[in-house]
Amino acid sequence: MRPLLLLLPLLMLGHTHAQTTPAAVSPHGAARVIGHAAGTFGQPGDPSGPTGGVAWGPTGTAYTLDGAQVLHHWDVSTGRSLSRQMLWPPVALPGARDPAFGPRLLLDGSSSDGAVSNGTQAAAAGLLVRVEGLQNGQPYRTAFTLTPDGRRVLGDPCPSSEAVPMGCTVVGQVRVQDRTEAGPTTPQTPPLELSFRDPATGKTVMTRPDPPPDGPRLLLGALGSGAGRLPSSTVTLPRGEVLRVVPSPDGSRTAVLRLVTPRPGWGAGTAYVDVVQRKDGKRVTWVLPGMTLADDAAPALRWVGNSRLLTATALQDPTTGGSLEGGQVVALRDALTGRALWKLPASAGLVGAVPSPDGRLWLTVRGGSVPEVRRVSDGAFVRALGRAVVAWVPLAGGASVGGASSSGRAAVALSVGGGAGALILLDQAGREVPLAGGTARWRFAIPGVPDALAATPDAGRFALAVPGALYLLDSTGRLRQTLKLPGLRVMALAFASGGVLSARVNDAALGGERTLAWQLDSAGQLRPLVLPPLPEGSRYTLPVSAVLLREDARRPALTGPFQSRLSVQSLAGGLRWQDAWGPETAALPSPDGQTLLRARAVAVPGQQDISALKLWLANARSGQASPPLTLLPSALKIYRSLGVADFAPNRRHVLLTERGGDGCGGALYGVRLADLQTRQELSLPAAFGTGLTRFTGCGHPRPVPQVAFAPDGRHLLIRDGNALTWWAGAF
């Protein structure tokens, strides 16, 4: 009976679902910005916390690994990428080839060096990659070594876990291992009797509170040989959860990061560092300021030489309970006193701190996107390892580059490390576009990481948003205007025909979003547009053009579905036409503001949690609608649905994405193309389907491809992380 159920919705929707015909598109170039895709390292507070990581390699090199399992090998002195590869765990591991929820791979700054541990030689020398996965619903941890010849050798030379934290160091050719174990549950001393006077009754009350249990025990491994050998020993620590155990490089001391929570099960508390002498077991303890977040926050503790420690810990936001300001507080501290020699705040957005073997430099990751090299002496930024694309827009054809016609370009906003950004233009061959009549590259440096980017259809003006400000550039990359936006963060930015720029911003003071708009005047400067006030629960659709699209939303019943209504207004606020209240329906104006694309999810008969998409065009001035086209997901599986990605300049073609998943898992199943004039779907090459299929999930921050039409209608552009791909066509 199942095949009949699958056929039923196809038959019922068939009157609006036309046969597909091939789309006339062809590949037209590709470019890749060297570096990791934005956000693929994760940040404290993300589900499962940061992933991937950084590690030092041989002879002044470094490795960086992101959540998409892209591994870069870098020359630290120049910032040049020596190699790039996809890194997969050994096939013997459970879920090794699961594209959605396979094991997480992490670098923790360690390497496998072939040292002897407990009389056993390590399996191989190379880059140590730790693995966290699931087997039969139960978590497991292991590691493998990526050898210089590309082999992946299973084996963990220092098998640490949450239950038994372990730390290792190599002294000579011998690996020293320290670990902790829980203290006894039975108190070692009898409880004390305490008395106090009850002020309400005046009576003396005797109480016998249970003393806190002994803390964890630190088991220090043996060090050395012969007459100078230090035997293994045990030191009892104060109570608390041990997060990290880190022996010093010479093995003389071991540092322990310990968390004391207000009550059991809390993922945040006061963090202490215990430094224990291996020779005599003497201990000093100091506290880290603030409420330290441990869950999904990857706290780090590492030695710099044998007398200093690098700490990297996230602070808990007292309001949300999550990570404060999205980064970690990184500090270089005296190991015996805890005094900070320098400290970088969480607002810097840095996660992790891995010092170089010679103690001069350290590695970290900014904003979950860009690895950085910094100085140990003062914490200062030295250089970035790669760049990350954070915003992009396709442009119309441009002038020749190097004697060759540049018929497709893109403006690309980058995070370049050190908290800075840049805006560049790339052609379809991946070359940076020069300024007209010269060899200098079109480039604009930004004192901040960009949030959003927009360009006029003729690429005569660019708008670039950073936290608290908006920059307006001309076609040569020259800064023409700076608009201050105190307390505002731009989430979306768009130019419309007629020189209207609109932005959706987050207002920290109001705790919500609002829409701003500006108009380019005859001098090419932005002048504010005052938009009519919005009713409660309404917002304006971007881009704002000659007409205002106001989306109204309500929920008539407490548990019923949401409803929406579209109101089309003039910029002065006069109502032109208005929908009746009905099922939620999106509206997207064409670039010239003359036509509206309407989209509504509709239930598929006989299917649960699967939506078809109903599309139609409407005249922006009168509201007159064209006959609709209804499209089904390519597979009738739970949570599968279609969504609008972009509306073409010719006012007939629509790019769609097919997605699935809910909660902690999601997937993109490719991009589709529809012609609303002929009411047909146009079949695209496999590069748009299986080639763009991506799976995401908690702990797996992978880039999800995006697609848009060029403003001249001659290309569409796919952005997949740091990669751009142009396809020629007529749109």
Q: How does pLDDT run across 162-209, given as a tens digit for each residue? A: 888 999 998 888 889 999 988 654 444 444 455 556 666 667 766 554
Q: Are 567 and 552 in contact (CB under 8 A)?
A: yes
The confidence score (pLDDT) of residue 355 equals 97
> At which residue do the structure tokens 């504010």 appear?
528
Instruction: Determine which of 181-195, 268-282, 374-388 has the lowest per-residue pLDDT on average.
Output: 181-195
How many beta carbons lie within 10 A of that of residue 117, not counting itself? Answer: 16
Gap between the Cα atoms of 294 and 292, Å rounded: 6
Instruction: Measure the CA–CA gap between 603 and 619, rounded to whole angstroms.
Output: 26
391-415 pLDDT per residue, tens: 999 998 654 333 334 457 999 999 9
Whole-number Å distance between alpha carbons of 30 and 719:
10
Domain that holds residue 492: 2-31+387-728
Q: Which residues pair with 167 in a beta bridge?
A: 178
Please tell me whether residues 520 and 483 are part of one structural domain: yes
**Is-contact 300 312, C-beta < 8 A?**
yes
Q: Are residues 24 and 52 in the same domain?
A: no
Rounded distance between C-alpha atoms, residue 487 and residue 179, angstroms: 47
Show the tokens assigned to 142: 């292991």
The residue among 688, 659, 694, 660 whose CA lies nearest residue 673 is 688
pLDDT > 70: percent of the chain: 89
Asked whether residue 205 is assigned to any structural domain, the reply reads: no
Q: Which two tokens stand for residue 560?
A: 């019923």
Beta pairing, strands 21-22 & 680-683 = parallel
Which of 348, 367, 384 is the last residue in one of the domains?
384
pLDDT tens-digit profile of 141-164?
A: 999 999 999 999 999 989 988 888
Has this prediction a pTM greater than 0.75? Answer: yes
CATH number of domain containing 450: 2.130.10.10
| Beta carbons of 181 and 164 less than 8 angstroms apart | yes
Q: Are residues 408 and 484 both part of a single domain?
A: yes
Question: Which 8-state DSSP code applies to residue 291?
Answer: -
pLDDT grade for 592, boundaries at 50, 70 and 90: confident
Helix (H, G, I), strand (E, B) or coil at 165: coil
| For residues 197-224, average pLDDT | 71
pLDDT band for position 510 (cuts 50, 70, 90): confident
Cα gap 579→571, rounded to integer Å:
18
What is the C-alpha separation between 139 and 95, in angstroms, rounded?
12
Of the two residues 404 and 511, the one the predictor is more confident about is 511
The verdict on 344 and 406 lying in the same domain is no
How many residues are present in the chain? 731
**Percent of the chain with pLDDT strictly greater than 90:** 68
Query: What is the structure's pLDDT at 184?
Result: 55
- For residues 372-383, give the mean pLDDT: 98
> CB neighbours of 542 closer than 8 A, spacing ≥ 6?
492, 494, 502, 503, 504, 515
Q: What number is the average pLDDT over the span 621-638? A: 93
**C-alpha distance across the termini of the chain, in Å:** 42
**24 and 61 together in one domain:** no
* 41-53 per-position pLDDT tens digit: 999 988 888 999 9
Is the torsion defined by CA of 336, 339, 344, 345 positive or negative? positive
Residue 103 in any domain: the answer is yes
- Please report which confidence band the pLDDT of residue 362 belongs to, taking 50, 70 and 90 as the band edges: very high
Distance CA 506, CA 490 (A): 6
Give the neighbor-by-neighbor strand order of the sheet with 452-455.
Answer: 452-455, 461-466, 469-474, 479-484
Decide which of 384, 411, 433 is a domain's last residue: 384
Judged against a pLDDT cut of 60, whether residue 479 lies above it is answered with yes
501 assigned to some structural domain: yes
- Are residues 89 and 146 located together in one domain of the fold? yes
In this predicted structure, the answer to whether residue 117 has a pLDDT above a threshold of 50 is no
* Residue that has been written with the tokens 């239950």 in this structure: 163
Determine how many CB atoms are found less than 10 A away from the CB of residue 545: 25
- Write down the pLDDT at residue 214: 66
Q: What is the CA radius of gyration of the chain?
A: 30
Q: What is the pLDDT of residue 198?
A: 62
Per-residue model confidence (pLDDT) at position 419? 96
Residues 412 and 426: beta-carbon distance below 8 Å: yes
Residue 260: inside a domain: yes
Instruction: Check whether residue 165 and residue 48 sit in a common domain.
Output: yes
pLDDT of residue 364: 97
Claim to verify: residue 451 and residue 376 sit in the same structural domain: no
Mean pLDDT of the chain: 88
> How are beta strands 308-315 and 340-344 bridged, if at all?
unpaired
Residues 308 and 427 placed together within one structural domain of the fold: no
Residue 56: count of CB within 10 angstroms of its CB: 22
pLDDT, mean of residues 583-602: 92
DSSP 262: S
Residue 522 sits in the same domain as residue 600: yes
φ/ψ (deg, to 5) at 214:
-60, 150
3-state secondary structure 373-440: EEECCCCCEEEECCCEEEEEEEECCCCCECCECCCCEEEEEEEEECCEEEEEEEECCCCECECCCCCC
Q: What is the pLDDT of residue 199?
A: 61
Structurally, the chain folds into a number of domains equal to: 2
27 shares its domain with 57: no
Residues 409 and 288 both lie in one domain: no
Whether the pLDDT of residue 624 is over 80: the answer is yes
Torsion of CA 473, 474, 479, 480, to 10 degrees: -100
List, in sequence order, every residue forming a beta bridge with 654; answer none if it has no partner.
647, 674
Q: Which residues contact 70 (CB under 8 A, 6 or more apart)?
A: 36, 37, 40, 84, 85, 86, 87
Does some domain include residue 193? Answer: no
pLDDT at 673: 97
**Residue 434 pLDDT greater than 60, yes or no:** yes
What's the CA dihedral at 411, 413, 417, 420 to 10 degrees? 110
